[in-house]
Structure 1
Amino acid sequence: MLTRIKDLATKLAPRLIEIRRHIHSHPELSGQEYQTAAFVAGVLSSSGLRVQEGVGKVGVVGELHTISKDEHFLAIRTDMDALPIQECTGLEYASRKEGMMHACGHDVHTTVGLGTAMVLSQIAEEIGGNIRFLFQSAEEIAQGAGWMVKDGAMENVSAILGVHVFPSIPAGSIGVRYGALTAAADDLEIVIIGESGHGARPHEAIDAIWIAAQVITALQQAISRTQNPLRPVVLSIGKINGGRAPNVISDKVQLWGTVRSLHPETRAQLPNWIDKIVASVCNSYGARYQVNYRQGVPSVQNDYTLTQLLQSAAEEAWSSDRVQVLPEPSLGAEDFSVYLEHVPGSMFRLGVGYPDRIINYPLHHPEFEVDESAIVTGVVTMAYAAYKYWAKD
């Protein structure tokens, strides 16, 4: 069966590259992937899958039904949205939309999902169970997975697989990771409230800007001395707003940031920990404060058995030399984790780096490119893993 899957994927390669370039040229931002969704639905329908559009607002679900009497599905999830980045690659098929670019590889993810559906539809009579393909909107704003779940995309699903490109791994290889793959990502807003005054008489005011600087410093210092260094926390303040004029002491400053962590126990105590530090600084200087902590998506925790499945499928398809067991997680976030709150799953890293290039630009870079030979690698790995999943009994 592996040979047949590889042959089918290889024959489809020109069409898959065509699909990827079409999607790349026509990027759409999170929650606005209407043309992409229609295109995906058309490809799935032409491959004989049952298609439902408008799932999770803009998402698409395609179901491949087999002769199995088991009503459960193995889900395969890919995402479709682009980023608000001006593309600078100079490619012939570069983005045709000003200020939008597939700089995170979701065009490749969508193509791998479609290619997997196209391959498996041709061997449906030999697959031991049903497959549900989830083409998700709005991953970049960490909303799409929740929308999909709310609309019933995970009903009767027993497990889920996902893929994400990785430019630091050369095309033709993949990476698997046992346990934590990505971090939980939470949003933080801190408001410092002081008292306004003349810039020449700071002692008569409560300087919210100066106190905000102390808060930022205190948070960063406290991480290194109060958090377990084996359970990393990254807190980054990315936006500050405050002040009215150069010679006026500011009475209000707003800070916005992101908080990343890997361990659920650490994450659970972070809101209280941040509040105590902010309170300590503000109380020392007579300021008031507000801390608004919003939990975002949790950490992707790959299931051991399903990660083994992906590793064995890839090693059988490409040899163990082309499969990396990743030693470290990423502190990036992925709303694939939302699905894992419902069923076990695993996401693998698809190498898309050019082996002969000194520099492969990172994700979210305006010059990010992928080696398109990786598409077949992704399709074969995913399709064979799906086949093996239902052959496990």
Structure 2
Amino acid sequence: MKDLEKQVKDTFNYLHQHAEISWEEVETTKYIANILKENGCNVNTFVDHTGVVGEYGNFKDNLPIVAVRADIDALWQEVDGSFQANHSCGHDAHMAMVLGLLWKLQQSPELHKQIAIRFIFQPAEEKGAGALKMVEKGAVDNVEYLFGVHLRPQQECKMGNAAPVIVHGATKMYSAEIRGHDAHGARPHLNINAIEVGAQIVNLLSKIHLDPRVPHSVKMTNFQAGGKSSNIIPGNASFSLDMRAQSNEIMDELDNKVLNIFEAMKNLYDVKIKLTSTEGIAAARTNEQATSIMREAIKKVLGTENVDPPLVTPGGDDFHFYTIKRPELKATMLGLGCDLSPGLHHPYMTFNKDALMNGVHILFEAIKEVYQH
């Protein structure tokens, strides 16, 4: 078991040091595909995008197929003064744990004919698009159970504990442009200041009021206008919005309010506001059968006293598109306590690496639980 732990931690370290951003996980895909092939999996890669699927076990006797998904992309963010690909959301850990599950299954060769496991190493989770692409390519076809895993901040789940399901909220992100004309700083009557339009949008976003019983938020996360000349009033700007809601219904209401604000600004200032990109993730659809299986797995590994209740979080994950597109899937995502701080997406995020083996063992027990029943 010590050899397995070292293998998992070494794999994590390699993946952490070789991070790649969404849709550019070329070397990561090759690295994982090679490991899957070397360990007896039938492997499928894709000519038009990154990501890899491996199948392990007995796919001849119509056993229920269990899929285990790991996201493989990193974020692009500033670290130590320069921008780089950075695994500050734990995807390097997720990959290492799922590969650890494969290696642990190999340590129990008697299980090989009793299981049918599909390993899904999915690209572009941070873009909210990878799961949809994998569904399109058949990654969850004929799958009965789908398990995922995600590291959790210490505020949500402490080291040595785990939650059998993460109830993510819905997420939507807009990138947009304000289009007008520049003017001389001495003649503000000759144009509309794009910065003032942006400020008005921020002000109106704060005035959106929806059902207070359902967590939700909307905020501007990026705004760029003007250039090197401070005597020019900018007529153009670009900005981004991030929206969160704990339910898909509230997200629809929030989205409608935001779009109405854009229309109001266009009419008030006579400017063009053009959406340049839209990304979104649906809120979680939970499944009690899958959650119950994961709960029992946590009990066996960490003990009953260390099983947390369902973890409700405003964060999002495109994992839930699998169940949106395939409602018959019995799916859940393991929330793993690991002393993660200062927080997810922080450029210097760290966690207790000993938690990696907790994740491996829990996923292994969940697999066994499926086939025992």
Name the TM-score, length of structure 1 as normaliser.
0.82
- After superposition, residues 3-82 of structure 1 pair within 5 angstroms as 9=1, 12-54=4-46, 57-66=49-58, 69-82=61-74
Question: Which residue matches 1:290?
Answer: 273
Report deviation, 1:318. 1.4
Most deviating of 307-316 and 62-71: 62-71
- Structure 1's 116 and 56: CA in aligned 2 closer, same or farther, altered over 3 A? farther
The answer to whether the 8 Å contact 1:302/1:347 transfers is no
Instruction: Encode CA deviations 1:102-126: one digit per residue, 9 max, x unaligned.
Output: 2222221111101111222343544
Most deviating of 137-146 and 375-384: 137-146
Residue 213 (structure 1) aligned to one of 199, 218, 235: 199
* 1:334 partner letter: D
Instruction: Encode CA deviations 1:304-354: one digit per residue, 9 max, x unaligned.
Output: 22112111210122112222214532x222111121221231101112217
Report deviation, 1:250. 3.6
Residue 324 (structure 1) aligned to one of 308, 324, 332: 308
Q: What's the secondary structure of 1:229's corresponding residue?
A: coil
Give me the whole-angstrom Cα distance separating, in 1, the residues matched to 2:338 and 2:182.
54
Give me the whole-angstrom Cα distance separating, in 1, the residues matched to 2:144 and 2:69.
13
* 1:240 partner letter: F
Residue 241 (structure 1) aligned to one of 196, 206, 224: 224
Q: Does 1:114 align with 2:99?
A: yes
- After superposition, residues 217-366 of structure 1 pair within 5 angstroms as 217-221=203-207, 223=208, 225=209, 227-243=210-226, 245-283=229-267, 285-290=268-273, 292=275, 294-326=278-310, 328-329=312-313, 331-341=314-324, 342=326, 343-353=329-339, 360-366=341-347
Report deviation, 1:382. 0.4
User: How many aligned residue pairs are there?
Assistant: 364
- After superposition, residues 122-133 of structure 1 pair within 5 angstroms as 122-123=107-108, 125-126=110-111, 128-133=114-119
Most deviating of 238-247 and 71-80: 238-247
Give me the whole-angstrom Cα distance separating, in 1, the residues matched to 2:364 and 2:90.
19
The answer to whether the 8 Å contact 1:63/1:132 transfers is yes
The answer to whether the 8 Å contact 1:64/1:124 transfers is no
The answer to whether the 8 Å contact 1:176/1:347 transfers is yes
Q: Does 1:380 align with 2:361?
A: yes
The answer to whether the 8 Å contact 1:104/1:364 transfers is yes
Question: Which residue matches 1:3?
Answer: none
Residue 101 (structure 1) aligned to one of 69, 86, 106: 86
Give me the whole-angstrom Cα distance separating, in 2, the residues matched to 1:25 and 1:194.
44
Most deviating of 265-274 and 191-200: 191-200
> Identity of counterpart residues, as a percentage?
28
Q: What's the secondary structure of 1:218's corresponding residue?
A: helix
Name the TM-score, length of structure 2 as normaliser.
0.86
The answer to whether the 8 Å contact 1:176/1:348 transfers is yes
Report deviation, 1:295. 4.6
The answer to whether the 8 Å contact 1:87/1:99 transfers is yes
Q: What's the secondary structure of 1:268's corresponding residue?
A: helix
Gaps of 5+ in 2: none
- Structure 1's 112 and 189: CA in aligned 2 closer, same or farther, altered over 3 A? closer
The answer to whether the 8 Å contact 2:168/2:283 transfers is yes
* 1:44 partner letter: L
Question: Which residue matches 1:171?
Answer: 159
- Structure 1's 287 and 31: CA in aligned 2 closer, same or farther, altered over 3 A? same
- Structure 1's 11 and 55: CA in aligned 2 closer, same or farther, altered over 3 A? farther
Q: What's the secondary structure of 2:243's corresponding residue?
A: strand
The answer to whether the 8 Å contact 1:136/1:145 transfers is yes
* 1:18 partner letter: D
Report deviation, 1:10. 5.2
Instruction: Encode CA deviations 1:110-167: one digit per residue, 9 max, x unaligned.
Output: 1110111122234354474411111122222223222222221111111210001124
Instruction: Encode CA deviations 1:228-285: one digit per residue, 9 max, x unaligned.
Output: 11223221212223346544444344332122222111222334322323333443x4
The answer to whether the 8 Å contact 1:56/1:149 transfers is no
Most deviating of 28-37 and 367-376: 28-37
The answer to whether the 8 Å contact 2:311/2:335 transfers is no
Question: Which residue matches 1:93?
Answer: none
